[in-house]
Amino acid sequence: MKRRGMSETVELSCPFCGQMGTVLVDEGGGEHQTYVEDCGTCCRPRVVHIESLHDSSRGPRVWLERDDGV
């Protein structure tokens, strides 16, 4: 994980196709963020979850989920 000011990037695998991709994490955007981003490989929408921890020596928690359009 590389730190560049208030943002960093993490490598995560796509929940649809499994392809590794880079997700930009903006830690200034709030404690808990979710947004939808299309996979660059399979173009399906995935939900990016970001949880910034106050006790954050380890950085934010980031994970991906499928957006099944519920």
Instruction: Return the number of the residue (14 or 59) whose C-beta is nearest Zn ion.
Output: 14
Which residue matches tokens 């903006």?
26
The answer to whether 23 contacts Zn ion (rule: CB under 5 A) is no
Instruction: Return the number of the residue (44 or 61) whose C-beta is nearest Zn ion.
Output: 44
Min separation Cβ 63 and Zn ion, Å: 15
23 touches 40 (CB < 8 A): no
What does R_g of the chain's alpha carbons equal in angstroms? 12
Min separation Cβ 16 and Zn ion, Å: 4
Tokens of 30: 């709030």
